[in-house]
Chain A
Amino acid sequence: MNVIWNIASTTVGEAIRRRVLLVILLIGVLLLSIIPALGILSARSETSITIGTMYAVLRGTSALIAIVLTIYMLPNEIERRTIYTILSKPVQRWQFLVGKYLGAVLALLLMITMMTIFMVLLFWVFQHPTAEKMAEIATQPFMYWMEMSLLAAVGMFFSTFIAPLVNFFLTIGMWLVGTVLNPLYDTLSKNGNTQPLMKGIATIVTNILPNFANYDTKNPIINPGQVIVNGALYKWTTVGYTAMYVGILLLLSIVVFDRREV
């Protein structure tokens, strides 16, 4: 466990020092800071637009950080040959992989927390919400962190056997597809004209691919008055889903990485 933790903490340190990630973070923060001005787009839905757009920026920035962070994680170690130094010590490959992944997840937690604090402060300055509202707003980024943890696992899995550039597009593609799975399936299931075969394929795809739409729970936050049934249970179940899916991807990564020549 110590080994994994050491690798994870080193990975966090590396992530903080990587300029490209800091630039993405800075762009995210800059985008967040101009959002309060967009409230004028709707007289009565100012709050909805502000929060909705802030979440979209936070989610997009986090996804970009998660992808850029993970796609280079293993290839860089191999390219710089630093992996030999680590694996020559009593460190198993799976420990290295898990440590790297945990480091990425912690780095993401750090960056998402920073953006969330900035976002809530900004919201407080421009909208003067109640403490309850601010607390409510701060809950959704936790779901985004879960989402990015899954995305990081996807990126890491592909990085065990695919070059970074291809991996970038593949992972971003997986994320984009994953974010539309629930809404598309929702639409197909509500549409009476959907062919049974089409519906069957959609059911399998929705339930097999990593479903990033599960984490988009902002609707009741930006549109108050919605009644949520089993809200807490849903979030804990989603955490369980994340753990399972991350488990699948890490196990697959371990199998592939274990057989790979480095």
Chain B
Amino acid sequence: MLKDLKALYIGIVVLVCAQFGLQMGFIFPTWQKNYSVTAGGNISAQLSPDQILLQLFGFREFLAGILWVRADGFFDEGNYDAILPIIKLCTTLDPKQIDIYATGMWHIGYNFTDEQQRSDRRYIASALALGKQGSRENPETYELFFETGWMWYHKIQDDAWQPVKWFQEAHRRKDILQARKNLLSHAYMRNGQIPEAMQEYFKLFDEANISAKSATKDYSSIQIRDTLENNVDTELVRMVQRGWVAEQRHDGSFETGGYDAVPPFDTGFSCRVVVTAPRVIHFEGTWNVLPVGTRIRIVMRDMDYPGAKIAELDWDGSTIVNFEPGVDQTYMQDDLYVKNRRFNHDVDMSKDPTMYPCVSKNYLLEFYYSPRIAPPHIQDKFSWNGEGMKDKNFSNEEIRGPKEFVYDPFPMASDGDKKLAPITIKSPGQRVFYTTLTLTRDQLLKLGEWTNRTPTVSTSNYKQTETNSDTEEIIKVPTLRGK
């Protein structure tokens, strides 16, 4: 029998205290920093308890892989709804699988569409949230920064400073592919930052030139250099021809130099909106611009849609991946296509009452056109900031005026513990086209006094015309010079 039990108990107490201190003071903080699977995730907010347990018992990567294979089967079957929870689970189980984030973002952002193949843009904020989460979890690689930037650049097309931010972050990562670097210049252009775009092009061209010279049989390097050379040439010509260079001189030469963007072209917008059946809207009107590449954005949303901005939503407003957009909120975005300077377009929302519940009392119809997202041949006339575009009634220089945006860079391991300075992006203002109309719920659903009447709203300048828009007109446009 042991005699000195007191010493034994004291020893036990000392050891308990010592291990407590060691665990609390060093082991857990270091474990959290070095070995925790999620860098910034909050798994309890995203998963049910049984799902949390699954990921904690060591088979995370394995389970994520199996689930992702299952998701692939759902893709093939077109069962898109089933994929969403799997994406959520997979990214939580294995936050390092970049492909799941990238594919998941694309899927959420692009694949949810209505019967007319219009995407349900309420999902975009969730797609971006997934990209942001993936970037936080994988800060060392460029991929998810690039993917998120691409979502902004290609799918959203608003808030042009956002792709600049994300592509800049992608460029800070050393593993970015050379061929993907060009996108930053394109993003600068869309944000109206022409000098920055050219500076980036020249920098890339110099790099590509060195790579191409040292390459013997690496034809991709040579091709990248040639592409960049072509891009630089084209942009220089555009800068001069559109009058951008003359504009910077501020000596009146822009107005008198015979540049493509002078004088501004009147787009002559007018529109009539007819509710032909419940949730079916017919748009018709005029728009004097060329048929190819002149889509006018139309938005129909609840008047009080949460987070709505002018002709867009607050895409960046979500930090969590939410797969259930509000069932009592309506947001529809589509484009009007122009033919022979007129448009006739039907928007049928009646087949998708879940996507377009129309429970709000009042609705705002927005019409919007930005030269920044126009194709180059239209920009040759309108220029980057809309200098060559005006609309007698609906030109607007206020809603997309000059702005400055500041963001904190995403820290990487190579940054160490040093605090990174915030980065400022200056977004020059632009002239856009913008106007609104309103509809009530009764009008949209043809209820009450509108049951046997046809609700019609139109812009004040709309005039009925008898011109047959199906007749093909030949528009001779040898040049877009405004003469």
Q: Which residues of A contact B (CB under 8 A)?
A: 38, 41-45, 48-49, 52-53, 55-56, 59-60, 94, 176, 179-180, 182-191, 203, 206-208, 211, 213-214, 216-220, 222-223, 225-231, 233-234, 237-238, 240-241, 244-245, 247-248, 251-252, 254-255, 258-259
Contact = CB atoms under 8 A, between A and B. Distances in A.
Contacts of B43: 183, 187
A248 B28 CA distance: 20
Contacts of A182: 28, 31-32, 36
Contact of B66 (A41, A213, A229): A41
Interface of B: 1-2, 5, 8-9, 11-12, 15-16, 18-20, 22-24, 26-28, 30-38, 40-45, 52-53, 56-62, 64-66, 68-69, 94, 96-99, 140-141, 413-414
A207 B9 CA distance: 19
Contact of A244 (B1, B22, B41, B45): B22
Given A191-B42, A207-B20, A41 B59 contact: no
Contact of B97 (A45, A176, A203): A45
Contacts of A44: 97-99
Contacts of A217: 31, 34-35
B94 A258 contact: no
A219 B62 CA distance: 14
Contact of A185 (B11, B28, B41): B28
Nearest to B415: A227
A228 B413 CA distance: 9
Contacts of A229: 30, 33-34
B23 A241 contact: yes
27 contacts: A43-B99, A49-B61, A53-B61, A55-B58, A56-B59, A56-B62, A179-B58, A180-B53, A182-B31, A183-B37, A183-B43, A189-B32, A190-B40, A203-B24, A206-B23, A207-B28, A211-B23, A211-B27, A214-B23, A225-B140, A226-B413, A237-B27, A241-B19, A245-B19, A251-B12, A254-B8, A255-B5
Given A217-B34, A227-B413, A41 B27 contact: no
A240 B23 CA distance: 10
Contacts of B53: 180
Nearest to A245: B19
Contact of A231 (B34, B37, B41, B64): B34
A217 B33 CA distance: 11
Contacts of B62: 38, 41, 49, 52-53, 56
Given A59-B58, A186-B36, A248-B12, A240 B141 contact: no
Contact of A45 (B16, B41, B96): B96
B480 to A, nearest CB: 46
A42 B97 contact: yes
B7 to A, nearest CB: 10
A53 B97 contact: no
A56 B65 CA distance: 14
Contact of A186 (B9, B32, B65): B32
Given A48-B61, A60-B58, A251-B8, A237 B26 contact: yes
Contact of A241 (B5, B27, B58): B27
A146 B406 CA distance: 48
Given A56-B58, A180-B53, A258 B19 contact: no
A66 B437 CA distance: 74
A135 B288 CA distance: 70
Given A53-B61, A237-B22, A228 B66 contact: no
A187 B19 contact: no
B58 A216 contact: yes
B68 A48 contact: no
Contacts of A248: 12, 15-16, 19
A43 B20 CA distance: 43
A235 B305 CA distance: 53
B138 to A, nearest CB: 9
Given A48-B61, A52-B61, A214 B99 contact: no
A188 B28 CA distance: 13
Contacts of A251: 8, 11-12, 15
A260 to B, nearest CB: 11
B44 A45 contact: no
A41 B56 contact: no
Given A225-B140, A241-B19, A255-B8, A187 B44 contact: yes
Nearest to A210: B19
A255 B23 contact: no
A226 B22 CA distance: 24
A241 B57 contact: no
Contacts of A176: 57
A248 B13 CA distance: 8
Given A231-B34, A251-B8, A258-B2, A190 B42 contact: yes
Contacts of A43: 99
Contacts of A219: 34-37
A94 B2 contact: yes
B271 to A, nearest CB: 47
A48 B68 CA distance: 15
Nearest to B58: A56
Contacts of A237: 22, 26-27, 30
A44 B99 CA distance: 8
B15 A247 contact: yes
Name, among B9, B36, B45, B61, the residue most crowded by chain A CB atoms within 10 Å (CB to CB): B61
Contact of A41 (B18, B19, B22, B65): B65
